[in-house]
Amino acid sequence: MRPLLLTVVLSALSLVGGCGRTSGLARGGVSLHGSEGDAPSPSQQNRGRSFARQAPDPLVRSWLQDGARARADAAPVTVLLPRHPAAVAGAVITFGQSWAAASLPLEGAVVYVHATDLRHDPPERADAQAPDLRVRGQNARVAENEGIRSVTWTEGGVTHAVEIECDRPADDVRCTGEAYVLAFADALVPAS
């Protein structure tokens, strides 16, 4: 599933109650929280935040539009963004009960940054190799699918993914190798 479509599907599920409650809708139509009498979901109960969240980067926050800043603040997980004024100013931030996503426009490309505190560990395989790459000090894995480069890592109990989709993936150095997506992800800072 293409990254933008995934973000749209997750947002749509939030609206109809598939990923979040429909009461207390925030700007952008994504649920902030349930009504006062609602019990917390298992995801919310497991969100004890036993890890220390980094302080939000004030400069990056200043580049966000007011609505995007409000959605980043309301997201259940830390929203990571780059120190790139034009991309951050055009950011579209969405979130659901256990995830957040940012779509960042660049010239000739779009970067998608996803985070979720839900985790499903795959079965262990005897032939699986440990990742030899690191992003933000954590083990990371890279992939390429239909010209879209991606990197994933887990940090502080939250799994993050960064994907870059180039208009011309065969001709754009950002999509012909893994160096750009790794550097982009490694330089992300908290915006919430």
pLDDT digits (tens, 9 = 90+) for 76-122: 999 999 999 999 999 999 999 999 999 999 999 999 999 999 977 76
Rounded alpha-carbon distances, angstroms, from residue 50 to 95, 100, 152, 188: 21, 19, 21, 22
Residue 83: what pLDDT?
A: 95
Is 17 a domain residue? no
Q: Compute the C-alpha angle 7/72/145, nearest 5°.
A: 30
- Closest Cα to residue 159, out of 136, 125, 181? 136
Q: Write the CATH number for 173.
A: 2.60.120
Assigned domain for 26 exists = no
- Higher-pLDDT residue of 25 and 148 is 148
Q: Which residue would you say has higher pLDDT here, 186 or 19?
A: 186
Whether residue 139 lies inside any domain: the answer is yes
Give the mean pLDDT of the chain. 77
Residue 66: inside a domain: yes
When comparing pLDDT for 14 and 147, which is higher? 147
Between CA 174 and CA 165 the distance in angstroms is 9
pLDDT over threshold 60, residue 24? no
- At 127, the pLDDT band (50, 70, 90 cuts) reads low
First to last CA, the chain: 27
Q: How confident is the model at residue 48 (pLDDT cuts 50, 70, 90)?
A: very low
Phi, psi of 161 (to 5 degrees): -140, 140
- Specify the pLDDT at position 54: 81
pLDDT class of 155 with cuts at 50, 70, 90 = very high
Residue 117 is classified by DSSP as S
Q: Let me know if residue 114 belongs to a domain.
A: yes
pLDDT at 129: 57
Residue ranges making up the domain that contains 73: 56-119+132-190
Tell me how many domains the chain contains. Answer: 1
Contact 74, 32 (CB under 8 A): yes
Statement: residue 132 has pLDDT above 60: yes
